């Protein structure tokens, strides 16, 4: 059995633009494709993060629906922006990310036997 050479991975636009940006050697240029910057967060954010790392309640995906204070704040924001009233305890879910959000929407809107069309790629 012979081992053939693998074709190198084709570079995509993000890497090409990143290389161009790096070659400029401009300290005022911010690369935001991965939030890869050397800007330090505000001191208050760093202190809050340090405290949260040691707080067991801040290091869990539970409760499933999200923290009550965050749900209340989200509902207030949406109410101000939309003029609609919502009950934070029954009409608001905070997710741990985009896929969790999509799962919650599907669980809330689909019933057994419903048909779903998926695009390709999904």
Q: What is the pLDDT along the chain (122 residues), one digit of tens a residue?
A: 555 666 666 666 667 777 888 888 888 777 776 666 667 889 999 999 999 888 887 777 677 788 899 999 999 999 999 999 999 999 998 887 888 888 888 888 999 999 888 777 76
End-to-end, the C-alpha distance of the chain in Å comes to 37
Domain membership flag for residue 79: yes
Domain of 92, in residue numbers: 64-109
> Domain tally for the chain?
1
Domain membership flag for residue 75: yes
Domain membership flag for residue 9: no
pTM summary value: 0.47
Phi, psi (deg, nearest 5) at residue 118: -115, 140
Domain membership flag for residue 81: yes
State residue 1's pLDDT score.
53
Cis, peptide link before residue 103, omega less than 30° from 0: no
């Amino acid at each position: 059995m012979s081992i053939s050479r693998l074709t190198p991975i084709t570079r995509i636009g993000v890497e090409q633009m990143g290389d161009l940006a790096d070659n400029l050697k401009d300290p005022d240029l911010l690369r935001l494709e991965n939030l890869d910057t050397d800007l330090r967060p505000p001191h208050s954010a760093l202190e809050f993060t340090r405290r949260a790392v040691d707080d067991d309640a801040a290091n869990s995906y539970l409760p499933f629906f999200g923290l009550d204070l965050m749900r209340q704040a989200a509902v207030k924001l949406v109410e101000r922006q939309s003029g609609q009233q919502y009950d934070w305890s029954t009409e608001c879910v905070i997710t741990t990310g985009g896929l969790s959000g999509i799962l919650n929407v599907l669980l809330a809107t689909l019933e057994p036997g419903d048909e779903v069309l998926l695009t390709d790629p999904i």
